[in-house]
Amino acid sequence: MSDEHFDAIVVGAGPSGNAAAYTMAKEGLKVLQLERGEYPGSKNVQGAILYANALEEIIPDFREDAPLERHVIEQRMWTMDDASHVGMHYRSDDFNEEKPNRYTIIRAQFDKWFSRKVRDAGATLLCETTVTELVRDSKGRVIGVRTDRNAGKVFADVVILAEGVNGLVGQRSGLRSEVAPDSVALAVKEMHFLPREVIESRFNLKGDEGVVIEAMGTITNGMTGTGFLYTNQESISVGIGCIVSDFAENGTTPYGLLEAFKNHPSIKPLLAGSECKEYASHLIPEGGYNAIPELVGDGWIVVGDAGQFVNAVHREGSNLAMTTGRIAGETVVWLNRRREEMSKANLAEYKKRLEQTFVMKDLKKYRRIPDFLHANKHVFTLYPKLFNSAAQSWFRVDGIDKRSKEKQIMGAFRKSRSVLGLVGDAFKLARAWR
Amino acid sequence: MSSMQESAMKVEEKLYQNRYLVDAGRPHIKVLPHDKPSKALLSLTHTCPAGCYEQNERGQVEITADGCMECGTCRIVTAKTGEIEWNYPRGGFGVLYKFG
């Protein structure tokens, strides 16, 4: 395959790689996409929520044949202690719209569908092919990649690195430094199967309506992290994730943490009677804006998780992946049409375009959040405990007068965190959120 | 969390659900020879979500990568100490997610 020259090579067939490959192939560019898995999706893990908007920008009529599970009509945000949860639920019939906003999906199926679209648009896909390194010319410009298929080289004007969170190619080629253990989360997840009628009655749903639960609190055992539970058509995705350096220091096993979450009295009845058919784990880059590496160079562009494009606060990643992939693809098409070189200076257009989108605006807005959460782990245990005991005290009718209950609740907050501490936390969070 | 111990379970039971194509005789992760593991390397015995790492009777950390889900946690935890050699499995080998 070494005598063929492509307009672009895309490393990886996840959401960012597929978005980039599709965008370029649709515009007539000669695109080669390389995927190490047996099929696109076989190595990919996500919760998973699909944000329609980002995909609509690429494939406007995706709803016609994409494998979607349920459209989300209800969001539950839970703050948990060991026995309870305080919940904020938002459910709206407005989400039962002609073009729903968010869907639960199963990535192995979704990625296969997306990849079919990429190939239909004209791109060449090679699976079971691991890219081992970048190929450079004498001036250091990237001109192709080497793969583990007969140690073959393939050449292109530009290489789009959509290689995911463990971006070995980019790291080993010195394009970016290693991801730090405190800016990446390890998430583990299980797929639990139940008849769809059971899911619908258990979660108060009809048809393809879905519910998502995001949870924080003592479930992460003092570590920075969150748990989740998403309803699919005939299955429930349940998982939990924490910052890697927290796991390393804490001594908790990821699977022990997941078991404890599944056995929490608020979660257990939702999974009762289900059959687990898969256990998966994955890293999520959560370093935010300050962890974004160099994104372009002579002959290369970085998109998706490899570029740390995850908004951890809002649990968004795949939409950032698709958007960065699309914009990288559009930039390459634009340069290709103008017969411009794929030089670092010209590819900087990608960064310029990204600045105008929600991707960079949101990441910039939350740039102080990762450090805040890292320095304030008590947010994940102290407050959930306080909120839950306050709720219990408030709702339990036991002959104690309400003023005394109020005093007791306020006293508990003051005792465990002091007025100065409480005000300080609120101030620091507000400043990081700004 | 008190239920943590109660719910401690064998990770093998979880991995049993998964599909793998093992590249026999070509493990994609190797622990480099060592006398005493660093704190980082030792932490992999509990941090690895597939429970691939174990300490042997001489106190060294060993890996059996068959159940590896290729998440990269061990790679990132030991990046500074350089005690493991981590590569992706050859194309097509390793974990094969049915759902992902």
Domain boundaries, chain B: 27-89
Q: Is the pLDDT of residue A3 over 90?
A: no
Q: What is the pLDDT of residue A12?
A: 98
Residues A414, A415, A420, A421: is their CA dihedral positive or negative? negative
For the stretch A348-381, pLDDT in tens is: 999 999 999 999 999 999 999 988 888 888 889 8
A82 close contact with B: CB closer than 8 A: yes
CA distance B11 to A177: 32
Give the confidence band of A26 by pLDDT, cuts at 50, 70, 90: very high
Which single residue is written with the structure tokens 């959509």? A162
Q: Is the pLDDT of residue B8 over 50?
A: no
Domain boundaries, chain A: 5-69+105-177+293-365, 182-285, 370-433
Interface of B with A (CB under 8 A): 1-4, 6-9, 11, 14-15, 17-18, 21, 40, 43, 46-47, 49-51, 69-73, 75-77, 79, 87-92, 94-100
A222 close contact with B: CB closer than 8 A: no
Q: Are A432 and A369 in contact (CB under 8 A)?
A: yes
Please give the CATH topology (third level) of the domain spanning B27-89. Answer: Alpha-Beta Plaits (3.30.70)
Q: What mean pLDDT, rounded, does chain A reach?
A: 95
Among A171-175, A225-229, A412-416, which range has the highest average pLDDT?
A225-229
ipTM of the complex: 0.93
A283 close contact with B: CB closer than 8 A: yes
Residues A412-426 have a mean pLDDT of 87
Residue A81 is given by DSSP the state -
Closest CA to B69 of B24, B4, B17, B31: B17
Q: What is the pLDDT of residue B59?
A: 96
What tokens does A207 get?
A: 């048809």
Query: Quick check: B14 and A255 CB within 8 A?
Result: yes
CA distance A147 to chain B (A): 9
Which single residue is written with the structure tokens 């990849």? A115
Taking domain A182-285, whether its CATH number is 3.30.9.90 is answered by: yes
CATH class assigned to A5-69+105-177+293-365: alpha beta
Write the single-letter amino acid at B4: M
Q: Is the pLDDT of residue B4 over 60?
A: no
